[in-house]
Amino acid sequence: MALDVNAPMIPADAAPPAADRLKRRVLMTILALAWLSSVAAWAQIEWRGQSSTVLRGVFGANVVFHPVLFLGVWRRWLPLRWVDLGCLLFAAVICAACMALRLYSATHGAAIDLQPLYLWIPVIYVFTFTLRDHRWGLRVSLAILALFVVLSGPYLMGHLQDANANFTLQMLMVSAVLIGALYFFASYQQRFLRAQLTVDELARLANTDVLTQVANRRRMGEALAAELVRFARYGHVFSIVLIDIDHFKAVNDRFGHAVGDQALVALAQCVAPVLRDVDALGRWGGEEFLVVMPETGFDESLHKAQALCAQVAATTLVAGHTVTISCGVASVHAGDTADALLQRADEALYAAKRLGRNRAEGAPAAG
């Protein structure tokens, strides 16, 4: 199966479809539960006769907001980041409105209990830091805290001894400490992830051929050494295939080194689908590639090398040009070293060249 180089590219910042579907289902579940809890709480308050115009307005906003957002998530009318932001702003506005009414309007805010309301405000800050990076979380959290400070400031200055003022002041102080702690931990996590990505990238670069993006000689040497250890300890046979592009110098001389580089890249992409997941493919040097095949005897590896030759010969690699490859196959012997195994594969490769190229030859394991 050839690699489709014309396949559309997926943006780097796009979420995987499975992750997007999972998040939408989780959001729909949360919104449905929030709507049910709002309806149940509203019905209970009305039944007890504890409702008020303000509470009806708050519960009414919840009962309308959650189904609308649920529909938007379900029908994919909004990107998930806008849904997240909408939930955040809705919660902040509801809390700010309830705070203002309770502190400044004895008529409309009398039924609002500040203590349970203030317990929900820290949840807003935690949610904020889960949406994006720590800097964005800090800016939005401070903006929400500033809103609460502006709303409660005049009341605090005139009613400092009041119980509501005490609750409000404690809430603001706890919010400031919580935002600082969330920023610290979120920034630490961000730095840790960035450092981990850097380490992973360095490891990838250290083991990857820059041009073809397959394993480099260093990584292939490690794979070969690991198979030799497995063979020595447990008797697990393996084989290697040394691949060389036929007349590669002529390709460079005729079409230029840029086309030669494209041929190397295309060859790696052409060969990889023929191999198994457990096989290791890497660039050994120049136009040579090495394949390490675990748990593979000589006959099977020779057959696979012949399939590689046929696959490459039948594929137009670069700009209408075709090339062929020759393969040398060697299976492990008792007491083999990496150099001995590679030497036999190299001898088999040159035998394939002498016999006409576009073929595979091999050195079978001892009886």
Of 355, 289, 367, the C-alpha closest to 331 is 367
From start to end of the chain, where are the E strands? 238-245, 280-285, 288-294, 325-331, 360-363
The total number of residues shown for the chain amounts to: 367
DSSP 8-state code for residue 358: S
Helix (H, G, I), strand (E, B) or coil at 329: strand
Catalytic residue chosen out of the listed positions 227, 287, 288, 361: 287
Please answer whether residues 358 and 309 qualify as being in contact, where contact means their C-beta atoms are separated by less than 8 angstroms. Answer: yes
Of 70, 71, 74, 45, the C-alpha closest to 57 is 45
Got the DSSP string for 15-59? Answer: PPHHHHHHHHHHHHHHHHHHHHHHHHHHHHHHHHT---HHHHHHH
Which residue's entry shows tokens 């499975």? 18
Cα 24 to Cα 54, 82, 88: the distances in Å are 32, 12, 16
Instruction: Based on the residue annotation, tell me whether 288 is a catalytic residue of this protein.
Output: no
Active site residue ranges: 287
